[in-house]
Amino acid sequence: MKNNFIKVKSDVSLVRDMSSDAIVNQNKSEFDKFNNLSKIKYKEKQEFNQVKTDLSEVKQELKELKELLKSIVQNWIINISR
């Protein structure tokens, strides 16, 4: 089976595989850069999602602390007014 490629006008490192109609990058170093960038972006997105989760948990804990403080203050007021 012979590969039948034609060059893509927009980029010299890209060709179209005529048997599958796929665009293929023939520049290995550019392909590697793209893969590395994709991995970095994926990791950044995971880290961002973890920060969002952590922030949500902190907000919930602050809410619980606020309610606890309100309860303590209300009990304190009740006890000193007796």
Is 42:50 a contact under the CB 8 Å cutoff? Answer: no
Quote the tokens at residue 58. 């902190």
C-alpha to C-alpha distance for 30 and 36, rounded to whole angstroms: 10
* Average pLDDT estimate for 70-82: 91
CA gap 67, 74 in Å, rounded? 11
CA atoms of 66 and 33, how far apart (whole Å): 49
Helices (H), the chain: 28-80
Residues 6+ apart with CB under 8 A from 66: none
Q: Where are the domains of the chain?
A: 5-80
pLDDT in tens, 2-36: 678 889 888 888 999 998 989 988 889 988 999 99
